[in-house]
Structure 1
Amino acid sequence: MRVQRVMMSADAVGGVWTYALELARGLAEEGVETLLAVLGPAPGPQQRAEASAIPGLRLRHGDFPLEWMHDAMPAQDAAGAWLLALARDFAPDVVHLNHYCHGHLDWPAPALVVAHSCVFSWHAHVRGRPPGPEWQAYRDGVTRGLRGAALVVAPTRAMLADAERHYGPFRAGRVVHNGRRAEDFPPRPKRALVLSAGRLWDEAKNVGALAVAGHSLPWPVHVAGEARHPEGGVAGFDGLHPLGRLDAARMAAAYGEAAIYALPARYEPFGLSALEAALAGCALVLGDIPSLRELWDGAATFVPPDDPDAIAAALHALVEDAPERERRAALARARAATYSSARTTAAYLDAYSRLIHANHEATACTS
């Protein structure tokens, strides 16, 4: 069934922002108008400029704490009321939530929730144990939201299984890979450097292990991303060349010039940065975890995340063997082409249409 309006939630802190804008751009090209409701810290000037470049995108910001932040749950009722008011005014065909706690609300249209990451799976993979009892309210809210949604989507089978394990069962589940546009990440003449990117303060990105490995490398290791935690504190690592948070153009240039992209992640439900780097012609060195294996098996070098010596050895091997490095880069770029923005947009439009059809059928049966 024809989709004309989608209301989508997002935050401006990490990869969900990039994902939301990419999808909104794809939807706009299909004639779909999007209202993007941003929770948490306000988008910065550069982010607002990125959003304003997408035809038909309406941007709204609600100053409510993100649900994964400490002591955020008491504010979620007010956040839900704000979101419901936006939905009533906008009258969407589908509500697309990129957070969890409001999937069960009485939306004016069918709602899906996308499981990008979560506190309980983060703790399981990064620290090997569940979070403390202070996170029970979070777990209750996430469980209620996910079980109440008409559909739960995840970017990998691994993330969908994690979400089901911690919060299921769900009414329905589906995997939709994230996508990016190859033309936004053109390869450039390569420089002798290793690049990484991500939130430096996030233990899941495992920048610390990369810093240890980098001490023995003949090439510099550049790292792009936010060092300041949204709740306070700044991460720093010796042995790395920090680039700070780069805008889209400078990030694409950094990928284009890097010969190797390293992401020895402990936890990464999809990894948009690896996809962007692969499109730009980087050889990939990735953490050997289920989600990244699912996406890149046969097209990347995998390393045990908590073994800096193994990370250094894998990087050394690619630094010293240019033909193998170029072969690996070609494999990664070919795989990356299968994770296109157009394919992602088409998959979501199919999911939206199925939800609308099912909602109409249910309404007809009860009328």
Structure 2
Amino acid sequence: MSRMRVLVLSWEYPPVVVGGLGRHVHALVRELAAAGHEVVVLARRETGTDAATHPTTDGPDPDDPRVRVLHVAEDPAHLRFSDDMVAWVLAMGHALLRAALTRLADWRPDVVHAHDWLVAHPAIALADTLGVPLVATIHATEAGRHGGWLTTPLSRQVHSIEWWLARRADAVVTCSRAMRAEVATLFDLDPDTISVVHNGIAPRRWSVPPAATEAARRRWAPGDVPLLAYFGRLEYEKGVQDLIAALPRIRRAHPGTRLVVAGTGTQQQMLVDEARRHRVRRSVRFAGHLTDDDLAALLTAASAVVLPSRYEPFGIVALEAAAAGAPLVASTAGGLGEVVVDGVSGVSFAPGDVAGIAGAVRRVLDNPDAAHERARVARARLVPDFGWPVIAVRIAEIYATAPAGGAIEAGRPKIPTGNVLSAGDLTPPR
């Protein structure tokens, strides 16, 4: 495959990392560079800074000098993501576009790759101006995050930008077959035109010395009791409230079971309240953000890692748990159902099914040998199915075959008043 020049746009890129998207882009561009492609990343500086405190920088990625990173300063306008998201996103897009046009000089990409709706405006403008193909990876959707509902002005605004990006892109990529179906439904696309490229993992990052594993068990579950772990964002769609609701049933079958919840998010207090309501507050530890080393030690020490998502485009956390060798218990939401194969590489349950969570966890705790065999199978799949070299080759193939469709004139999408992912559901959530 010929060497290509690739311009990647992402609203998060190390050291600015909000969630899994930043880590995904970072790993992907490094692998593309390793394969010989010339990569420039267009990303932003920290929220709440400005050009005086955090000026725009242009130089090699500290982790891989083959990748050039243009980290763009925020504009002077006093805009806050939490107060006026769309205005903040538009300002960020303007700053990214201005930086690309003024600082990239004569460097011209062969393809523009946009990651999610937050960079739709500068990505579309650059692809239109340069006359090169636009590839868009849709990592998640606004409707999916809200169970199919677009009941607020903000949700409708975000959805309309997602629709525009997906319709304008010359090639659309999703991280799972479930996300491909969701994107096709929401944005009126032919699913056969959407490419599925899974997220990746670097397994060696999660190797843990035995002493660190033992120390984690003493820290989180003294007394050699069963230890369950969840890690990820603390948001409603992650379903941690369902896991907490299942914990009393689990503890009746396996007394003393402890749960560690690692991560931060807007629903932390709700989850604490749920633990009190179900009378398991003393059995649940809210660990907050853990360092990579501490998280890896927790995963290797866990009797099971439980991922109870109600909505999950892919579920990279499942790959990370598998890399650590932890037995997996996961819902079938979205991409999780593709990563965790029930009875083969883990144990599954239906999203939101509290009794199903309890039953799945008991299957693991009742038969540790079978659970560890499933964990071995899950880990063995990582390199051939989810290794970054495999993923980078697939993305490069998409770059090479994407047509330069050019600018389009699109009207506003019609947004149904009911559930956009469930036909006939006209009753909005409370």
The bucket for the TM-score relative to the shorter chain is: 0.7 to 0.9
CA distance in 1, matches of 2:231, 2:181: 26
Q: 1:70 to 1:295 in 2, by over 3 A?
A: farther
1:227 to 265, 272, 276: 265
Q: 1:300 to 1:197 in 2, by over 3 A?
A: same
Cα-to-partner distance string for 1:195-242 (whole Å, 9 max, x where unaligned):
111111x1111111112223443331112112357xxx8554234212
Q: Output aligned runs, 1:11-26, within 5 Å.
A: 11=12, 12-26=17-31
Q: Output aligned runs, 1:213-362, within 5 Å.
A: 213-215=246-248, 216-217=250-251, 218-228=256-266, 236-237=271-272, 238=275, 239=281, 240-297=284-341, 298-337=344-383, 338-355=385-402, 358-359=403-404
SS in 1 for 2:69: strand
Q: 1:42 to 1:93 in 2, by over 3 A?
A: farther
Q: Which amino acid aligns with 1:113?
A: A
> What TM-score do you get using the length of structure 1 for normalisation?
0.83
**Do the aligned partners of 2:240 and 2:271 also contact (CA within 8 Å) in 1?**
no
Q: 1:299 to 1:347 in 2, by over 3 A?
A: same
Residue 266 of structure 1, CA deviation? 0.5
**Do the aligned partners of 1:176 and 1:344 also contact (CA within 8 Å) in 2?**
yes
Structure 1 residue ranges without an equivalent (≥5): 44-50, 363-367
Larger CA deviation: 75-84 vs 114-123:
75-84
Identity percentage of aligned residues: 27
> What TM-score do you get using the length of structure 2 for normalisation?
0.72
SS in 1 for 2:145: helix
1:193 aligns with 2:204: no
CA distance in 2, matches of 1:66, 1:348: 34
CA distance in 1, matches of 2:4, 2:247: 49
Aligned to 2:414: none
Q: 1:142 to 1:242 in 2, by over 3 A?
A: same
Aligned to 1:52: 62
1:179 aligns with 2:200: yes
Cα-to-partner distance string for 1:77-128 (whole Å, 9 max, x where unaligned):
433322222333333332221122335324234221111111112223xxx6
CA distance in 2, matches of 1:66, 1:314: 42
CA distance in 1, matches of 2:45, 2:197: 23
Larger CA deviation: 257-266 vs 293-302:
293-302
Aligned to 2:174: 154
CA RMSD of superposed structures (Å): 3.0
Q: Which amino acid aligns with 2:296?
A: A
1:96 to 108, 113, 125: 113
2:244 to 211, 234, 240: 211
SS in 1 for 2:11: strand
CA distance in 1, matches of 2:392, 2:206: 19
Cα-to-partner distance string for 1:279-315 (whole Å, 9 max, x where unaligned):
1111111112242222322422111232223212221
**Do the aligned partners of 2:72 and 2:95 also contact (CA within 8 Å) in 1?**
no
CA distance in 1, matches of 2:233, 2:357: 19
**Do the aligned partners of 2:166 and 2:187 also contact (CA within 8 Å) in 1?**
yes
**Do the aligned partners of 1:187 and 1:281 also contact (CA within 8 Å) in 2?**
no
Q: 1:259 to 1:3 in 2, by over 3 A?
A: farther
**Do the aligned partners of 2:201 and 2:320 also contact (CA within 8 Å) in 1?**
yes
Aligned to 1:9: 10
SS in 1 for 2:381: helix
CA distance in 1, matches of 2:113, 2:330: 30
Q: 1:76 to 1:42 in 2, by over 3 A?
A: closer
Residue 24 of structure 1, CA deviation? 2.4
Larger Rg, first or second structure (1 or 2): 2
**Do the aligned partners of 2:116 and 2:136 also contact (CA within 8 Å) in 1?**
yes
